[in-house]
Amino acid sequence: MRIRYLIVSAFMLLGYIRAFGQESRKEVCIGFPVGKSTLDTAYGDNAARLADVELFLERVKKDSTLELREVSFCGSASPEGGFARNRELAEKRRNSLERYVRERISLPDSIVLRSEGLIAWERLAELVEGADMPHKEAAVDVLRNVPEFTYDHKGVLVDSRKKHLMELQYGRTWHYLHKHFFDRIRNACVILVTVRQKPVVAKKILVGVETVAPAPTDTTVVVEKADTLVAVSPEPPKPFYMALKTNMLYDVLAVPNIGVEFYLGKNWSICSNWIYGWWKKNSSHRYWRIYGGDLAVHYWFGTKAREKPLTGHHIGIYGQAFTYDFEWGGKGYMGGEPGGTLWDRANYAAGVEYGYSLPVANRLNIDFTLGVGYWGGKYYEYIPLDGHYVWQTTKNRHWFGPTKAEISLVWLLGRGNGNNRKGGMK
């Protein structure tokens, strides 16, 4: 008898849940330009979609038979950038949308949910499945079956879904996805869950000799949502990008040189170079002396720069300090005061530069850079005579024009700082 009582009670509870209300969901997504997290109402259809959200919430607020049960905010990013940057963009986009909505409609904190920022792999897979694109089956297989990250037994990241996508058809599949789909998954979404109230009719139900009565009509049935266990992949190690370089133009002129560049984040990097060469032949007074260095700040831009730091177009400003002594058996020219050091009596230059870093192998780039600016400082003319250097005149250098030229071989160092396949990015 007790079992029969429990069974009937369970069916009655189910009936009350159904009678209490009918759940409905409304999802609205807002688009963002590449690399941006500030909500722009003029971008795409954002204005109309945001107006739809406001209208819906106002209608729910005015309708006494509707209850707003849950409001979820989420953000997503396309996968062309680094993992940490993508997650940051997704979270900022989610926060921008939430801030916009809550500034216009009052929402209690108890019904607001937020999901962690992520790359919209599922949405991308759905878009590919519904598209008529070359090598579609291979792309779907990677999106559905290759793990987002793969680690070895030591916990080191060794493979990823993004890497497989970029290697399909020598980059052509990745280029197609970038052109047709990535702009459709750079978004933030709000999911509105409402419940329509319905009257509850109390009835008496006889079970054998026992009487089971439902709760009074003003009773609210509360159903607790069970916790959901979500498998979360461990966050991959934070990427680190740096490069060692040598200017092959200086190498051809027999001037050893080395440079180092560090990526600072958000498309900015800082670079320093040093040169040092000193050759002489006293019997014929042949000198070739130059040493000094420069410091530059770069901003990276363009498609390649968005795909991976320290690659593609860059612009910047630079400053140089150097001394030199050129003499080939005739008149000599010495830049910088004789006996001085680089730091107090050097020539100097400063200007702006433009360059492009071209991937040529997994860890190698070739960087082409040209700088234009001002070169100033003193230089001395002299003549070698009987083992002495006879001073002739002192002049001031004032030069506006090209002061920097590089064709540098760049060795990419750091975690994640590779071009993903032999031959570089296609």
Ordered alpha helix ranges (H), 246-382: 248-252, 303-307
pLDDT at 21: 52
Residue with tokens 């130059």: 290
Is pLDDT above 70 for 301?
Answer: yes
More confident residue, 10 or 319: 319
Instruction: Give the residue-averaged pLDDT of 198-223.
Output: 46
What's the whole-number average pLDDT of the chain? Answer: 79
Is pLDDT above 80 for 293?
Answer: yes
Q: DSSP for 333-357? A: EEES-TT--TTTS-EEEEEEEEEEE
User: Which token pair is 319?
Assistant: 């400053």
The rounded percent of the chain whose pLDDT value lies above 90 is: 19
More confident residue, 316 or 4: 316
**Greatest mean pLDDT among 18-32, 155-169, 283-297, 410-424:** 155-169
Structural contact between residues 28 and 52, judged by C-beta atoms closer than 8 angstroms: yes
For the entire predicted model, the pTM comes to 0.45
Count other Cβ atoms within 10 Å, centred on residue 330.
8
Is pLDDT above 60 for 38?
Answer: yes
To 5 degrees, how large is the angle CA 146–CA 148–CA 149?
105
Closest CA to 101 of 64, 72, 130, 59: 72
Q: How far apart are CA 413 and CA 364, in angstroms?
A: 9
Structural contact between residues 188 and 29, judged by C-beta atoms closer than 8 angstroms: yes
Q: How confident is the model at residue 410 (pLDDT cuts 50, 70, 90)?
A: very high
77-81, 241-245, 410-414: least confidently modelled range: 77-81
Strands 187-197 and 21-31: antiparallel
Residue with tokens 């006889």: 206
pLDDT at 205: 45
Q: Which residues contact residue 119 at a Cβ distance below 8 angstroms, ignoring those fewer than 6 apart?
A: 76, 77, 78, 79, 86, 90, 148, 185
155-159, 230-234, 347-351: least confidently modelled range: 230-234
Q: Which residues contact residue 200 at a Cβ distance below 8 angstroms, ignoring those fewer than 6 apart?
A: 16, 19, 20, 214, 217, 219
Identity of residue 100 = Y
pLDDT at 204: 45
From residue 103, alpha-carbon distances to 5, 26, 45, 95 in Å are 51, 20, 20, 12
pLDDT at 285: 62
Structural contact between residues 118 and 87, judged by C-beta atoms closer than 8 angstroms: yes
Identity of residue 249 = L
> Is residue 257 helix, strand or coil?
strand
Instruction: Give the residue-averaged pLDDT of 382-409.
Output: 83
* pLDDT tens digits for range 244-269: 999 999 888 888 999 999 999 889 99
The rounded percent of the chain whose pLDDT value lies above 70 is: 78
User: Which token pair is 412?
Assistant: 């990419």
